Amino acid sequence: MGIKTRISRHFFPDAVAAAAIRRFPPASGLVLMYHEVLPDDIALPAWTVVRESDFHRQMQCLATHFDVVSLDEAVDRVSGKAASTRPFAVVTFDDGYQGNARTVLPIMERMGLPFTVYAATRAIVENDLYWYDRVISALAVNREIRVTVKVNGTPESYTIPSSGEDGRWVHVQRLLSRMKLMPAAERDATASEIAADLSLSDSPLKMLTEEELRLLSASSCVTIGCHTHGHELLDRISPREAGETLRLSSDLLTRITGTHPRHFAYPNGNVNQVVRGIVQQSGFETAVTTASGLWSGEVSMMEIPRVGVGRFETITSFKALISRWV
């Protein structure tokens, strides 16, 4: 953690944020990337799970400094079809968690703020968790955890300490990074074994039901985007498989919501020239990455950057984040 990041966790004046944001180029803005927001009393210390009270404060701060707009309006702004006097911000959520409907939707509707949910459909239609969420759910176990996994046939041991939210997450993140290198079937089986060993019968993480996805889609505040069917890393599967998961997910989202998705998010941000071409040929108008940056007319609609926001942001570090100071 650099010195600017350490300082901003405790001190970043609103006036400094406002001045920095005013210097953004015309017709530009930020796309924020969230995953899940849960009530404060649900203790799952994962970067991907933001506290409800923190999220509410972040949205108040965001609306103070930006025009919070839908993806479609942002496209119009960066392409010069719509005039603007302030920078814009787009709020997005990846994967399709239940809290997007139960926690986020009421907040955003009260505030009149639009947002986008990129739903990966398999976990929704099968009422299941993806492998990484089964591992993340280990953080709900309030004790030291020891895990051994085999990567390329070599056993590797990981210890998740019993205390310190951000420290525990660092260790889980290292484990997840290594497991991403495993063959898919082996990785899924290992994640299930970890959950079984820890007796994780009920995770605080839940995916949207089909009915909740329809509820979101029916809101004037919400845009539903595609995030593949099985959250596949598209640069690690064949072009044929990539095209199939995009078609399947799009068809399911159309069946469930009645609206064909026009926007896409690359799982894990994994994209290359071949993947980008497949996504574009599949008919998507925009695609977002996990690379941080400002969105302007100079950026490809198929590789829109996003700023990741997680559990460990303070309100001052959030201001520094959205002002591009860190």
Query: Tens digit of pLDDT for each residue in 163-207?
Result: 888 889 999 999 999 999 888 899 999 999 998 888 776 789 999
What is the structure's pLDDT at 197?
86
Tokens representing residue 116 in the block: 């986008």
Tokens representing residue 133 in the block: 């969420």
Q: How far is it, in rounded angstroms, from Cα 137 to Cα 66? A: 34
In which element (H, E) is residue 14 found?
Answer: helix 14-22
What is the structure's pLDDT at 166?
87
Q: How far is it, in rounded angstroms, from Cα 59 to Cα 66? A: 10
Q: String of b and e for 185-220 (b: at least 16 CB within 10 Å)?
A: eebbebbeebbeebebeebbbbbbbeebbebbbeee
What is the structure's pLDDT at 236?
94
Specify whether the backbone of 293 is left (phi greater than 0), alpha (psi in -120 to 50) or beta.
left
- Rg from Cα positions in the chain: 19
What is the structure's pLDDT at 10?
64
What is the structure's pLDDT at 142?
83
DSSP letter, residue 102: I
Q: Tell me which residues of the chain have a pLDDT lower than 70.
A: 1-11, 201, 326
- Token look-up 């089986």 returns 189
What is the structure's pLDDT at 13?
82
Q: Of 108, 114, 86, whose CA–CA distance to 25 is shortest?
A: 86
- Give the pLDDT confidence of 251-295 residue by residue, as tens digits: 999 999 999 999 999 999 999 999 999 999 999 999 999 999 999
DSSP letter, residue 65: H
CATH number of 3-128+207-322: 3.20.20.370
The set of residues, in sequence order, having a beta carbon less than 8 Å from that of 142 and lying 6+ positions away, is 162
308 forms bridges with which residues in the sheet? Answer: 33
User: Where exactly are the structural domains of the chain?
Assistant: 3-128+207-322, 131-197
Q: Of 72, 56, 58, 32, whose CA–CA distance to 106 is shortest?
A: 56
Q: How far is it, in rounded angstroms, from Cα 281 to Cα 147? A: 42
Cβ-contact 157, 148 below 8 angstroms: yes
Q: Is the pTM of this model over 0.85?
A: yes
In which element (H, E) is residue 6 found?
Answer: helix 3-8
Tokens representing residue 185 in the block: 């079937």
Cβ-contact 88, 68 below 8 angstroms: yes
What is the structure's pLDDT at 261?
99
Q: What 3-state class would DSSP assign to 97? A: strand
